[in-house]
């Protein structure tokens, strides 16, 4: 029997087989070493000290909420649609005319320095996405009252107008059920923590005649301004918690706009994403940030008289 020389030449030689075996073994060892190092480092917390290159870093810019005034009942035509957080030092007695923003208190436009006279105050911040007049760094230690967002529930029997967004643990009673201590009222929260919604001060060109040591905008107090401040804070905290728990956010830039209905009893319904340029997974995180803390507190009586039984809201989350 004769063997074709061409057929025999296609068979790998012993030296070639040995080389392939060594190459496979080395490749497998490298992969196992890399995975093992990552796993051990994650368990020991090595990677929290690792710094990504600046171009790979991401930051989550606080959400920008918008109130759809067309969904309300018995409202006047001058109700602003964009929320902004305000502080007690900015408060004024009289609501400004043609205010662009609403909040839990009236504020008037002011700036520390300006070289022009316009209808818009000059604000020397670092971002142009979110309406904010002061810097509020993120505190890794949650502010009180606080517990994991899925435990945030409303207290329907509370008619004082306080927003009971969290449960507080205490000693158990004789029935084996935990008692609940009264959370701080909004007045108490604002007095000790005047700025709780995380974010950087916005950058805005302009200038007004009113000079103060701080920046302020024209904002009108509404019966739902205080509710929205606490509501936004709860959603933002849950969003940051979700971002911390997922590693796939790195490198994404863009925004997600979520529309939903908030009902008078704190339930969230009819949610849908109206704009998303960062992908499905990051869009789902934004939806979860709103749904996980629900149901929220029942509306105070003045808020329900003005808005009816439901209101449509629009939140925009920015990934930068």
In whole angstroms, how far apart are CA 189 and each of 107, 192, 194, 196, 307? 19, 6, 7, 9, 25
Residue pointed to by tokens 């005319």: 97
Residue 55 pLDDT > 80, yes or no?
A: no
Query: 134-168, pLDDT tens digit by residue?
Result: 999 887 544 333 333 333 344 444 433 333 333 33
Higher pLDDT, 260 or 152: 260
Phi-psi category of residue 162: left, alpha or beta, with phi > 0 → left and psi -120 to 50 → alpha = beta
What average pLDDT does this structure show over 21-38?
72
Contact 306, 72 (CB under 8 A): yes
In whole angstroms, how far apart are CA 58 and each of 17, 43, 199, 253, 258? 47, 23, 14, 8, 21
Residue 28 backbone phi and psi in degrees, to 5: -65, -40
Angle 65-68-72 (CA atoms, 0-180°, nearest 5)?
130
Query: 67-120, pLDDT tens digit by residue?
Result: 554 333 344 557 888 999 999 999 999 999 999 999 999 999 999 998 899 999
Which pLDDT does position 72 carry in this prediction?
39
Domains of the chain: 57-79+222-320 (3.30.1150)
Query: 161-193, pLDDT tens digit by residue?
Result: 333 333 333 333 444 444 444 444 444 444 445
Higher pLDDT, 319 or 30: 319
Which pLDDT does position 22 carry in this prediction?
77
Q: Give me the numbers of helices (H) and strands (E) for the chain, helices first please.
A: 6, 7
Would strands 310-319 and 101-103 be described as parallel, antiparallel, or unpaired? unpaired
Which pLDDT does position 29 carry in this prediction?
75
Residue 271 pLDDT > 90, yes or no?
A: yes
Which pLDDT does position 261 carry in this prediction?
95
Strand order in the sheet with 60-67: 219-221, 101-103, 82-83, 60-67, 310-319, 254-263, 268-276
pLDDT band (50, 70, 90) for residue 195: low
| Alpha-carbon span 277 to 83, nearest angstrom | 24
pLDDT band (50, 70, 90) for residue 308: very high
Give me the percent of the chain exceeding a pLDDT of 90: 45
Which pLDDT does position 169 carry in this prediction?
34
Which pLDDT does position 320 carry in this prediction?
78
Residue 303 pLDDT > 70, yes or no?
A: yes
Which pLDDT does position 253 carry in this prediction?
83
Higher pLDDT, 37 or 66: 37
Residue 265 pLDDT > 80, yes or no?
A: yes
The partner residues of 310 in beta bridges, in order of sequence, read: 263
The DSSP H or E segment spanning 269 is strand 268-276
Which pLDDT does position 147 carry in this prediction?
33
Which pLDDT does position 204 carry in this prediction?
95
Query: 215-256, pLDDT tens digit by residue?
Result: 999 999 999 999 999 999 999 999 988 988 876 666 678 899
As a whole number, the mean pLDDT across the chain is 74
Q: Is the pTM of this model over 0.85?
A: no
């Amino acid at each position: 029997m004769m063997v074709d020389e061409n057929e025999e030449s296609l068979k790998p030689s012993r030296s070639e087989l040995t080389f392939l075996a060594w190459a496979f073994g080395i490749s497998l060892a490298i992969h196992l070493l890399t995975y093992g190092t990552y796993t051990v480092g994650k368990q020991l917390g090595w990677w929290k000290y690792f710094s990504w290159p600046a171009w790979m870093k991401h930051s989550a810019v606080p959400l920008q909420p918008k109130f759809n005034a067309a969904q309300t009942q018995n409202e006047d035509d001058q109700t602003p649609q964009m929320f902004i957080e305000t502080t007690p030092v900015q408060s004024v007695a009289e609501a400004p005319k043609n205010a662009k923003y609403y909040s839990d208190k009236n504020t008037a436009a002011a700036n520390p320095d300006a070289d022009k006279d316009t209808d818009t105050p000059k604000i020397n911040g670092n971002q142009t996405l979110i309406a904010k007049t002061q810097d509020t760094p993120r505190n890794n230690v949650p502010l009180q009252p606080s517990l994991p967002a899925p435990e945030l529930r409303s207290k329907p029997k509370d008619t004082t107008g306080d927003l009971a967004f969290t449960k507080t643990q205490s000693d158990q009673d004789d029935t084996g059920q935990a008692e609940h201590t009264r959370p701080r009222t909004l007045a108490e929260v604002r007095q000790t923590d005047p700025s709780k919604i995380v974010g950087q001060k916005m950058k805005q060109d302009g200038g007004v005649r009113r000079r103060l040591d701080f920046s302020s905008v024209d904002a009108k107090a509404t019966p739902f301004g205080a509710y929205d401040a606490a509501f936004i804070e709860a959603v933002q905290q849950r969003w940051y918690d979700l971002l911390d728990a997922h590693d796939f956010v790195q490198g994404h830039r863009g925004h997600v706009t979520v529309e939903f209905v908030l009902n008078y009893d704190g339930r969230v319904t009819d949610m849908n994403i109206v704009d998303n340029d960062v992908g499905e997974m990051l869009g789902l995180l934004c939806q979860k940030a709103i749904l996980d803390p629900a149901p929220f507190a029942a509306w105070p009586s003045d808020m329900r008289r003005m808005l009816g039984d439901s209101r449509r809201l629009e939140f925009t989350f920015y990934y930068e």
